[in-house]
Amino acid sequence: MKFSILSAVPALFFSSLVSAQLSGDVGLSNTRASKAAIKVCNILNYGGVASKTTDNGPAIASAWAAGKSGREVYILAGNYRLATWVPLTGGKAVSINLDGIIYRTGTEGGNMIFIEHTTDFEFYSSTSKGAVQVDAGAFHFVMDTCSNGEVYNMIIRGSNEGGLDGIDVWGTNNWIHDIEVTNKDECIIVKSPTSYILIKSIYCNCSGGCATGSLGVDTDIHDIEYNHIYTQESNQMLMIKSNAGSGSVYSCSFNNFMGHSNAYMLDIDGAPCYDITIESFDIWTEAGSEVLYKCENAYGSGPCLSTGTDYTAYAITTHTVTSVTSYSITTMAADFTVGFGLMTSIPIPAIPTSFFPGLAPSSALLG
């Protein structure tokens, strides 16, 4: 499974008083320039070789050890083999500048690059051309118990296979924006426990689609906002999925979803859910003459939702739409019609100028 990573549902609300947003500032306390000014730890000075045949795992680890306190680790332009994984820990006010291309050749499990117990950290490419090529066995990018973070201007391209999540995130006060994902599992997925996450301007391009869950025991997810999500040729535009769990999901908003050629639009898998408000929900079919809404164990206002207040399980109710006015599809130039094969090398793309139709990225590209 080859993989490349490079650095119309307008309103859906849970709870009538939604204020899902960041709870404070995100991003760096110290600029990348200030870290580089102290010292640049070029991996070539720590045993690294710009080569697809020399393992650069030890060199990256050595450069990190030298620069993890207030400095920058630099992987300059070139090709770099990574045969041994690099757990990087204990960093403070440190950055990694990846301008080269890392190629995975190792076969062990776990995370290729694992950064933990680290604060004020940045991973970036000064040229916007840094990349990682990997035969992906599982999730591509994971934010595990992270806080006050920002992820942006990134492309993830994986094979057309389940289990290859794009971005998995749990933590508090994180902003994820201007991301493109191609795979066949979740695009951007929020897991528990999570609070105050803003996910904006996302391009799910032949993907699984965005999701929350699976919701297991003691779920605690709240104050989440998805906004301006474009999804095409995907499993779903949005899915909230349970897994025989407990706990709660509340104060979440899902705004300005747009897409086409998807199997499902909105899928809330679990029950009972209440205080749901669905507004301006406009769906039509590209093949056929009707659209079917199905609701089960869901309470609130909107198509086929129950207005009751007992919040108990109930049988499926349906609503059939046979016509809509002014139907048209908005597309993007880079839309894929098929995913990438399991045994096919995936080319490294250029960062696009937009991740949602008509919307410019929040942050300019470097380089």
Are both 156 and 57 inside the same structural domain?
Answer: no
The amino acid present at 254, given as its one-letter code, is F
**Residue 66 carries which DSSP code?**
H
Q: What is the pTM of this model?
A: 0.92
pLDDT higher than 80, residue 125: yes
Q: Which of the pair, 329 or 124, is modelled with greater confidence?
A: 124
Q: How far apart are CA 140 and CA 52, in angstroms?
A: 21
Q: How far apart are CA 47 and CA 45, in angstroms?
A: 6
Out of 1-10, 126-135, 266-275, give the one with best mean pLDDT: 126-135
The amino acid present at 311, given as its one-letter code, is Y
Handedness of CA 102, 106, 112, 113 (dihedral sign): negative
pLDDT score recorded for residue 271: 67
pLDDT higher than 70, residue 278: yes
Residue 223 is a catalytic residue: no
Residue 185 is a catalytic residue: yes
Q: Which helix (H) or strand (E) holds 92?
A: strand 92-98
| Domain-terminating residue out of 108, 130, 152 | 130
Are both 115 and 161 inside the same structural domain?
Answer: no
Are both 115 and 146 inside the same structural domain?
Answer: no
Q: What is the DSSP string of 270-298?
A: SS-EEEEEEES-----SSSS-EEEEE-SE
Q: For residues 337 and 362, is the Cβ–Cβ distance under 8 A? A: no
Are both 74 and 97 inside the same structural domain?
Answer: yes
Are both 222 and 251 inside the same structural domain?
Answer: yes
| Domain-terminating residue out of 130, 156, 184 | 130
Among residues 185, 222, 223, 228, the one annotated as catalytic is 185
Are both 121 and 149 inside the same structural domain?
Answer: no
Kindly report which listed range (18-22, 47-51, 53-57, 229-233) carries the lowest average pLDDT score: 18-22
Q: How many residues does the chain have?
A: 367
Are both 101 and 180 inside the same structural domain?
Answer: no
Which residue bears the tokens 């006010």?
A: 93
Are both 185 and 264 inside the same structural domain?
Answer: yes
Instruction: Give the number of domains in the chain.
Output: 2
CATH code, 165: 2.160.20.10
Q: How far apart are CA 116 and CA 284, in angstroms?
A: 45
- Is 301 inside a domain boundary? yes
Are both 166 and 179 inside the same structural domain?
Answer: yes
Are both 114 and 151 inside the same structural domain?
Answer: no
Residue 140 domain boundaries: 135-356
CA 217 to chain CA centroid, nearest Å: 23
Are both 71 and 96 inside the same structural domain?
Answer: yes
Among residues 140, 222, 228, 260, the one annotated as catalytic is 260
